[in-house]
Structure formats: C-alpha cells, structure tokens
Amino acid sequence: MRGYLDIVKHILEKGVAKKDRTGVGNKAVFGVKFEHDMSEGFPLLTTKKVPFRLVASELEFFIKGKTDKAWLQERKNHIWDEWCSPTKVPYGHSEEAQKKMMEEKDLGPVYGFQWRFFGADYQDQHTSYTGKGFDQLKEIIRLLKEEPTSRRMIMSAWNPLDLKKMALPPCHWSIQVNVIGNKLNLLWNQRSVDTMLGLPFNIASYALLLHLLAKESGFEEGKLVGFLGDTHIYDNHVEGVREQISREPKKLPTIKTEFTSIFDWKYTDSTVEDYESHPHIKFPIAI
C-alpha cells in the first residue's frame, strides 16, 4: 500500500511540531486523503505485520454494539485495555489513575453503541439496549437493499451528548456508503489519526466493513476512501517510522469469509489468505 507510505513520508517532510493531550509530542499535517481499490487486494499493511485477528474482533465488538472491554479481553484482544469511561475513572497520567483505568471494564457509549443505539440513554456496559435509540447500521443495510442509489447512507459515531461518557471521543467519527456501477464504496472521516499505530488498523477495519456490507447486499467491492484530519506521527515513533519506510511493500492478501448475515458474523468467519509481511515494529501507545 504505497498510498499509506506516501502519507507517512508526507508527514515526515511537511509535518509541523505540535504538543498534544498525551504529552508525547508529534509532527502533524491536516487534511489527507487515503484511497484504495478493493480489486487490488485486501489492504492489510505489509511493511509491518498487522494482526488481522485484532482488527476483526474489534469490528465484531462494534457491530454488536458492545461497550464492555472484558468481551475483547476474553478474545485475547487488548487494544482497549488502557481506557475506560471517564464517568467511572477520570482520565489521568498518574500511575494510580492508569491502574484504575486498566481495571475498569466499562468503555462508555463508544463506536458500536452509537452505530446500533444512537440516542439511547447510556447506563453501563451490562444494560440491554435492544430496541432503544436508532440503529444506524441496520438503516444503511435497509437502504442498500431497498434504495441502493441513495446518497444518505451515513453512520455517525459522533454524539456530542455522549462524548463525556466515552473512553475516547471517536477518532474515526463517521462513514458514508455509496453504490455506483454495482460497486459498493465506503468513505470514512477521521478527526485524529495516529498514523503508525491507528491508521493501519482503521484502513483494515473499514475495508473489512466494506467487504461485509458488500456480501450482505450482493454488490461488488469498490473503493475505500479515508478523509483524514489531524494526521500525525508521535515523536517516540520516528525511529520505527524510518525502519518501516525503508521496506519494500509486498503483494496484498485476499480475504475469505463464511457468511450468512452481518449480524451473525463472527470475527473467526473471516480470514486473510496469502498474507506476507515484514516483521512487527513496536510503537509505544500514547495514552
């Protein structure tokens, strides 16, 4: 995926030094476009290993509208471990605050809750929200099947009324699905982009969602597009960045899915085939 590497190089060359919430510091640019044609392969980064299992299980977590990070941990997915709802444990950098954040399981009304229950009154991770709020994902699927020429297939995770309850305000905050020439295209908007850790996951996650929506609706897979706002590289990632951009990209893998319905789909139903990558590069998380 040279498109991704071009973004990385652009930040290194043109990025401006900024302070940030984490205290780590970064170089950033604003307003970047990522684009990939799904006919060229599944966009799982090859210049470092990206664990598809973690991408897919997080997406299942979102599709199911779950907010309990214990569900992810039971599936050996620890990418949300460091965060929790600030209504349970206030965000902080101290050792004590971070220990409490690790122990608390409630993430608050994050992505999947907004996708499936937008507008419902959030209580905690154990409450059932069935039949409450508005199911944006179900509405997109209805439109794909009944009105595929619609330009209103939009899903938002940004709910200002719930932001203070969320472990993190949504970084990738909305998507639009569109059908042109029998191909299903998906565009996502992202306000804040951790280019080295987050963006490879975001690309693969929305590619997988595009893949599932195409299977659900019977359309071919088209373009994946990302409009990226504050796109940054943390200062403590630069050494790994230079290693990564020195590597030659490999051929993209393909994806295979055992499928009945997007609502019955489990992360183990999808596998990537012929995935070859360069070794993992460890980038520290900025909390």
Q: pLDDT by residue (tens digit) across 55-113? A: 999 999 999 999 999 999 999 999 999 999 999 999 888 999 999 999 999 999 999 99
Section 188-202 average pLDDT: 96
Distance CA 266, CA 112 (A): 15
Q: How confident is the model at residue 287 (pLDDT cuts 50, 70, 90)?
A: low
- Among candidate residues 45, 168, 171, 209, the one labeled active-site is 171
Using DSSP bridges, classify how beta strands 220-234 and 183-194 pair: parallel, antiparallel or unpaired. parallel
Write down the pLDDT at residue 280. Answer: 87
Write down the pLDDT at residue 48. Answer: 95
pLDDT in tens, 23-38: 889 999 999 999 999 9
Q: Where are the alpha helices (DSSP H) in the chain?
A: 2-14, 52-63, 69-74, 95-103, 111-117, 136-146, 198-217, 238-245
- pTM, two decimal places: 0.96
Which domains, ranges and CATH numbers included, belong to the chain?
2-65+136-273 (3.30.572.10)
Section 118-138 average pLDDT: 98
User: Residue 84 catalytic?
Assistant: no
Average pLDDT, the chain: 96
Write down the pLDDT at residue 208. Answer: 98
How large a percentage of the chain has pLDDT more than 90?
Answer: 91
pLDDT of residue 45 exceeding 90: yes
